[in-house]
């Protein structure tokens, strides 16, 4: 078998896209205008697929903080956290994250992907067991793979299946790591954390919750689903990203476990990469402070996503879950989803196209992500584009549900 033979499937898939004249995975934002608007294909386009939940990417205080750090500390650290890449600001951000959650310590990673890779590979090894929700993000699967741990999946959001698997582990359950997300990125549905916590309490184990899509979104202070459901104390490890509600790049893990400090020494994705730049850390610290006191932002975000969800439901679309900032519209198949996505872009609305195998249960999705920075007029314009497509292509919408 030749080196490039494995790409045959990809070549065929790209050929299909070329035949349709659509390139959903190579969209260039020619100019970014604001958290919710950019120029794409030469036209002003509403960005409704950027996970910029609080719209902080252009916040003047975050930009000013990044400018100051850039001037004072330079463009990059040119090194790993283990070597020359730990600045006072990295440690300050870690202390601020730990204080935000009321936990002992935090570790900052260079990306959200690396946070999941780094925590799983640093914490678990070939003799350990990870119990993974089937719909977990690729970074969690990849972290498991890098760790070499024994990985047992349970069906998505099925706490009974988790309990069954913990029971089968017997005495080993006490040291198993249970891995779930707050809000799942594909359908926008939430984990049944109370039931998952109940299974953990009954059988043992440690719980890791990835709050990538719920940080800043859920909970009174924005600490995610664990705060919203009052189970923060039951989450042994929380991971998250700076690249969604915090408007930067990077990731983190917070925990009360004293062993978190040791993960630094065993985590290859932490050790063998350069640390985040001073400007990135500075904007993230500023954004975290805005997020923590951002009740108004969260209220605006909620009003926006509830409005869009209600309107799409009223139009007869099948949606992936109850209202959240991630609103997934379920379509019949790949081709209809591709065409739908393209028609929305032609009408000046950018959303994400999600196709199998990245999606659960083989569904094809149009995924909107809503921001607190979307104006009521922008949400109305997104609704109008969906309404127009509903009127012109009624057959586009599938009969089947999202299965989640």
Active-site residue set: 185, 213, 244
CB of 109 to other proteins, least distance (A): 23
Q: Is 251 left (phi over 0), alpha (psi -120 to 50) or beta?
A: beta
Nearer to other proteins, 152 or 315 (CB): 152
Work out which of 144, 163, 196, 379 binds other proteins, going by CB under 8 A.
Answer: 144
CB-CB contact of 269 with 81 (8 Å): no
Cα(52)–Cα(41) distance, rounded to whole angstroms? Answer: 21
Say whether residue 357 binds other proteins (CB under 8 A).
Answer: yes
Nearer to other proteins, 250 or 320 (CB): 320
Say whether residue 152 binds other proteins (CB under 8 A).
Answer: yes
Say whether residue 137 binds other proteins (CB under 8 A).
Answer: no
Q: Which stretch binds other proteins (CB under 8 A): 51-59, 94-102, 142-150, 370-378?
A: 142-150
Say whether residue 400 binds other proteins (CB under 8 A).
Answer: no
CB of 74 to other proteins, least distance (A): 42
Q: What is the total residue count of the chain?
A: 404
Q: Is 218 helix (H, G, I), strand (E, B) or coil?
A: coil
CB-CB contact of 268 with 47 (8 Å): no
Work out which of 168, 201, 295, 400 binds other proteins, going by CB under 8 A.
Answer: 168
Burial class (CB in 10 A: 0-12, 13-18, 19+), 303: middle
# chain residues binding other proteins, by CB under 8 A? 16
Work out which of 22, 121, 140, 149 binds other proteins, going by CB under 8 A.
Answer: 149
Cα(336)–Cα(353) distance, rounded to whole angstroms? Answer: 11
Half-sphere exposure of 354 (CA within 13 A, CB side): 26
CB-CB contact of 395 with 359 (8 Å): no
Cα(397)–Cα(367) distance, rounded to whole angstroms? Answer: 14
Cα(130)–Cα(150) distance, rounded to whole angstroms? Answer: 6
Say whether residue 47 binds other proteins (CB under 8 A).
Answer: no
Say whether residue 165 binds other proteins (CB under 8 A).
Answer: yes
Nearer to other proteins, 174 or 384 (CB): 174
Cα(60)–Cα(73) distance, rounded to whole angstroms? Answer: 20
Say whether residue 169 binds other proteins (CB under 8 A).
Answer: yes
Say whether residue 2 binds other proteins (CB under 8 A).
Answer: no
Considering only residues 75 through 134, tell me which ones interact with other proteins, judged by CB under 8 A. Answer: 129, 134
Nearer to other proteins, 90 or 165 (CB): 165
> In 3D, which of 235, 328, 325 has the Cα closest to residue 36?
325
Work out which of 148, 230, 401, 403 binds other proteins, going by CB under 8 A.
Answer: 148
Q: Which stretch binds other proteins (CB under 8 A): 47-55, 113-121, 151-159, 196-204?
A: 151-159
Say whether residue 150 binds other proteins (CB under 8 A).
Answer: yes
Nearer to other proteins, 106 or 151 (CB): 151
Cα(313)–Cα(164) distance, rounded to whole angstroms? Answer: 36
Nearer to other proteins, 147 or 283 (CB): 147
Q: Which residues pair with 47 in a beta bridge?
A: 350
CB of 141 to other proteins, least distance (A): 9
What are 160-166's contacts with CB under 8 Å, separation 24+? 162/131, 162/196, 162/199, 163/199, 163/202, 163/203, 165/131, 166/131, 166/199, 166/200, 166/202, 166/203, 166/204, 166/205
Nearer to other proteins, 81 or 156 (CB): 156
Interface with other proteins (CB under 8 A): 129, 134, 144-145, 148-153, 155, 165, 168-169, 356-357
């Amino acid at each position: 078998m030749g080196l490039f033979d494995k790409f045959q499937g990809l070549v065929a898939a790209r050929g299909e896209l070329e035949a349709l004249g659509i390139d959903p995975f190579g969209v260039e934002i020619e100019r970014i205008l604001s958290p919710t608007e950019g120029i794409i294909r030469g036209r002003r386009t509403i960005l409704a697929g950027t996970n910029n939940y609080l719209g902080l990417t252009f916040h003047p205080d975050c930009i000013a903080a990044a400018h100051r750090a850039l001037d004072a500390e330079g463009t990059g650290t040119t090194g790993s956290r283990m070597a020359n890449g730990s600045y006072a600001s990295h440690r300050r951000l870690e202390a601020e994250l730990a204080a935000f959650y009321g936990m002992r310590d935090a570790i900052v990673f260079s990306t959200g992907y690396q946070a999941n890779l780094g925590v799983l590979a640093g914490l678990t090894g070939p003799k350990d067991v990870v119990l993974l929700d089937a719909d977990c993000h690729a970074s969690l699967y990849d972290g498991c793979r890098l760790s070499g741990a024994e990985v047992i999946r349970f069906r998505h959001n099925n706490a009974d299946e988790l309990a069954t698997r913990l029971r089968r582990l017997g005495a080993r359950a006490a040291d198993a790591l249970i891995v779930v997300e707050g809000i799942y990125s594909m359908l926008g549905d939430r984990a049944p954390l109370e039931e998952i916590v109940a299974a953990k309490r009954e059988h043992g184990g440690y719980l890791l919750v990835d709050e990538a899509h719920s940080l800043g979104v859920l909970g009174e202070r924005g600490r995610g689903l664990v705060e919203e459901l009052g189970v923060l104390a039951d989450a042994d490890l929380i991971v998250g990203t700076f690249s969604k509600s915090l408007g930067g790049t990077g990731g983190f893990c917070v925990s009360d476990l004293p062993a978190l400090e040791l993960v630094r020494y065993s985590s290859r994705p932490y050790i063998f990469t350069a640390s985040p730049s001073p400007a990135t850390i500075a904007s993230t610290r500023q954004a975290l402070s805005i997020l923590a006191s951002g009740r108004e932002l969260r209220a605006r975000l909620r009003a926006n996503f509830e409005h869009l969800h209600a309107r799409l439901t009223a139009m007869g679309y099948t949606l992936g879950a109850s209202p959240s900032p991630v609103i997934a519209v379920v379509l019949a198949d790949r081709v209809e989803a591709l065409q739908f996505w393209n028609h929305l872009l032609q009408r000046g609305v950018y959303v994400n196209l999600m196709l199998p195998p990245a999606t659960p249960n083989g569904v094809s999705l149009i995924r909107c992500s809503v921001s607190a920075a979307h104006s009521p007029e922008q949400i109305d314009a997104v609704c109008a584009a969906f309404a127009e497509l509903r009127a012109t292509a009624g057959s586009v919408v599938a009969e089947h549900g999202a299965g989640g």
